[in-house]
Structures are given as C-alpha cells and as structure tokens.
Amino acid sequence: MYKVVIVDDEPMIVKGLSNAVRWADYDCGVVATASSGQEGLKVVAREKPDILFSDIKMPNMDGLTMIAGLKSEHPDLEITILTGYPDFNYARQALTLGVTRYLLKPSKMDELNEALAVMTANLGRNEGDDNSAAGNFIVDSALEYMKEHYTEKIQLSDVADHVYVSHWHLSKLLNRHTGKSFSDLMNGIRVDKAMELMSDPSLHIVDVAEKVGFTDMAHFSRVFRKQTGQSANEYRNTIRK
C-alpha cells in the first residue's frame, strides 16, 4: 500500500481530504498529516511517504524551495500541490521541479482522483533517478544564501535548513554540482570578497579578514593562500602597482 502524507495549514482541508478520497481504491492510505510546512518536512523525513498532498503557500515557508528540497532528497516522492493562488509562473516552476499536479482550491473530486491515479501509475514505473532540476535549484539557492551571509559564522546545517534538505544531502549536491565541499565554497566566497575589499587602501588586512567572517587572522592567511596561491600581503602589493 502506498503511504500518503497531507500537509496544509487549514485543518478543514486536511480533514476533508483525509475523509473524502477513497484512498483504498488506489491502494493508498494516509499515514500522517501536518499543519505547517516545517512540521510537514519532519513528517516526510519520518514516514518516508510515496505521495504528498501539500499546500505551497504557508507561513515562514518558501514553497518552491521546499518542493525542490523534497524532490532532490526524495526523488521518488510524488507531489500534488493544493493552493488558493492561481499564479501561472509559480505553477510552471513547480512542475519543472517535479510536481505531478498543481491544483487550485477548492479542488474538485475528479481532479483529486485523477492526480492520485497519475501519481500511483508513476510510482509503478518510478526508476528513482535524481531530479536534476530540483538539485540545480537547491544548489543555486544554497549558494545565494551563502553569499548573503558570508560575514556570519554559518555552518552547513544552517544552509541545509534554509533550503529544506538534510545537511548530508546538501553536502552531496554541492560536491556533485560544483566539485567542491561546503567549506571550500564558503572560503572561496569570503576570499573573493576580501580581494574586493583590499582595493581600499584605508583597510588593514586584519580589518578585511574580520569583515569577511574570519575571527582568526592566521586562519584567514592560510585560507587566502590556499585559494589564491599567494599571501594577502602579496596580493595587495600586486594591485597597488
């Protein structure tokens, strides 16, 4: 029997969907429900469902990134989105990321049944391939977040939480798509910014190091040399000529 999870911040939707659909007719059963996006992610991680019915516009949740995270980490998961927001571009992006159906609320029973029929048919022939579009989306989102927060003491787990995947899965994605580890990518971002700041003669190198997120000057020096092949002082001297 296929396992189904329902996620929606409207209790009536969750209750109605749980009770109205003839799940057994599609060899399915609802194993859990959730009332928020964050709770839904935990439920999916715990239950490992085959099918997810979920709202995409919930508080404190980037819906598209959530979808990308789910499809990247759980490529076999079949997803139908239920939403009250008719946005064509949003729907197109969701479908590109691997959503099976994008239904507007209130959804008609024949629409729900059709979505369920398609999802169970897909599961019957699912080969478990990674969703490259979702992976690309997650990597781009992660790199954007890293560039926005490079001055902070962020860790891989912080970025993973932001893009709704586990830290080990994000590490795998970053390495697969960039050939680099999280640490190397983070250091590269910081060193690139440091090189920009060093064009300002009023800034001492120790000030530059602090501005790009390094609290240890010796660590900054080692990272800078590893990334550029020269010391920070040597680099500054070259741009002064």
* Cα 219 to Cα 6, 52, 150, 197, 206, distances in angstroms: 47, 45, 15, 18, 11
pLDDT digits (tens, 9 = 90+) for 33-71: 998 888 888 999 999 999 999 998 888 888 888 899 999
Residues 14 and 58 occupy one common structural domain: yes
pLDDT digits (tens, 9 = 90+) for 83-130: 888 888 888 888 999 999 999 988 899 999 999 999 999 998 785 555
User: Can you give the pTM of this predicted structure?
Assistant: 0.77
Residue with tokens 């300002």: 200
Number of domains the chain contains: 2
Instruction: Provide, rounded to the nearest whole percent, the portion of the chain with pLDDT above 70.
Output: 98
Residues 7 and 119 occupy one common structural domain: yes
In this prediction, residue 81 carries a pLDDT of 94
**Structural domain range at position 79:** 2-124
In this prediction, residue 87 carries a pLDDT of 82
pLDDT digits (tens, 9 = 90+) for 197-215: 999 989 999 999 999 999 8
Residues 137 and 187 occupy one common structural domain: yes
The two most distant CA atoms of the chain are separated, in Å, by 76
Residues 90 and 51 occupy one common structural domain: yes
